[in-house]
């Protein structure tokens, strides 16, 4: 009985020790994140403070560079009238539709070209040729073919979203170690099983990198699409504000694009941390 009590006491002490270590680790992790946040926020906060002071004292033109407070007021006013949310809803729909369409096609073709040499020889030269055509050069053609409706805008965004995923999926598959293919042949994997169990997981870092770039390009494509012949969306809001010299509204539009761009990037990075944690050399 006495020995059992001793064992129970040892177990309790071990649990307390583990809890204490876990608490210390969490505290250190929180402190590191807080320090990282403070370091990252220092420069923007100083710049905003300097901008506000210089604007208030008339050193810089508030017509061209409205102060952060005036931009904030313009943003609040747009939210109160509902104008901001209505246009944001349209822009999000266009960006996501274009990204899903272009990204899915890019991933599919990138995998096919990466897996099969003949497909690469057939498709890749044409894809690379189209990749070199700038957005602004192809936009008039899209408008002629599809008008100024949603189709032309979504296709323009999809064109930008296509290539990062295509190229990164292709590179990721071609970079898979040949020794791993030998192992799967020894284990008797079929072509399908080899693709699902080896090729795609090994290419996943490149594919996720492609998703991040593709999302960024989708936001850039959205700006181009909405600045040409659009009557709704954040790009239209900015274009309309420019015509009436409402510079604070233009800055609000820029901040919205920047905010949603960084949020989408953070979302993919969190997926990276979750899906790539099995890799020994992953340091995300």
**pLDDT of 80 above 60:** yes
* Residues 248, 84: Cα–Cα separation, whole Å: 13
* Residues 16, 10: Cα–Cα separation, whole Å: 10
Q: In this structure, what token pair is assigned to residue 264?
A: 């989408």
For residue range 129-172, what is the model confidence (pLDDT) as tens digits?
888 888 778 878 888 888 878 888 888 899 889 999 999 999 99
**Residues sharing a CB contact under 8 Å with residue 264, sequence separation 6 or more, in sequence order:** 215, 216, 219
For residue range 167-200, what is the model confidence (pLDDT) as tens digits?
999 999 888 888 887 888 888 888 888 888 888 8
CATH class of 68-276: mainly alpha
Burial string for 162-173 (b: 16+ CB within 10 Å, else e) reads bbbbbbbbbbbb
**pLDDT of 41 above 70:** yes
Q: In this structure, what token pair is assigned to residue 115?
A: 């897996």
Percent of the chain with pLDDT over 70: 95
pLDDT for 252: 92
pLDDT for 49: 92
Domain boundaries, the chain: 1-60, 68-276
| Average pLDDT estimate for 194-220 | 88
pLDDT for 280: 63
| Average pLDDT estimate for 241-264 | 88
Query: Cβ atoms within 10 A of the Cβ of 148, count?
Result: 14
Q: Scan for tokens 């504000």, then name that residue.
A: 241
The pTM for the full model equals: 0.78
Contacts made by residues 116-123, CB under 8 angstroms, sequence distance 24+: 120/170
CA dihedral (175, 170, 264, 261) in degrees, to 10, reads 110
Instruction: Tell me the pLDDT of the chain averaged across its residues.
Output: 85
Q: In this structure, what token pair is assigned to residue 88?
A: 């944001």
If pLDDT is split at 50, 70 and 90, which confidence band does 20 have?
confident
């Amino acid at each position: 009985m006495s020995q059992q009590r001793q064992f129970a006491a040892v177990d309790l002490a071990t649990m307390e020790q583990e809890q204490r270590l876990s608490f210390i680790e969490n505290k250190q992790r929180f402190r590191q994140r807080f320090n990282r946040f403070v370091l990252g926020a220092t420069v923007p906060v100083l710049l905003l403070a300097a901008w506000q002071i210089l604007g208030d004292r008339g050193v810089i033109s508030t017509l061209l560079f409205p102060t952060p407070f005036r931009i904030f007021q313009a943003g609040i006013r747009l939210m109160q009238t509902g104008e901001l949310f209505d246009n944001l809803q349209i822009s999000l729909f266009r960006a996501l539709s274009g990204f899903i369409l272009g990204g899915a096609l890019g991933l599919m073709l990138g995998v096919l070209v990466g897996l099969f040499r003949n497909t690469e020889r057939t498709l890749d030269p044409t894809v690379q040729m189209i990749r070199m055509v700038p957005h602004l050069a192809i936009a008039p053609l899209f408008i002629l073919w599809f008008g100024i409706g949603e189709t032309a805008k979504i296709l323009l965004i999809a064109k930008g979203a296509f290539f990062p995923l295509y190229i990164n999926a292709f590179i990721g598959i071609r970079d898979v170690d040949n020794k791993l293919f030998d192992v799967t042949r020894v284990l008797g994997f079929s072509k399908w099983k080899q693709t699902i169990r080896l090729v795609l997981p090994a290419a996943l870092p490149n594919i996720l990198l492609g998703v991040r770039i593709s999302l960024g390009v989708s936001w850039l494509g959205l700006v181009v699409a909405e600045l040409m012949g659009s009557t709704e969306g954040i790009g239209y809001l900015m274009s309309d504000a420019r015509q009436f010299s409402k510079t604070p509204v233009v800055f609000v539009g820029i901040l919205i694009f920047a905010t949603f761009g960084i949020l989408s990037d953070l979302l993919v990075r969190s997926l990276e941390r979750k899906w790539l944690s099995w890799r020994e050399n992953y340091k995300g």
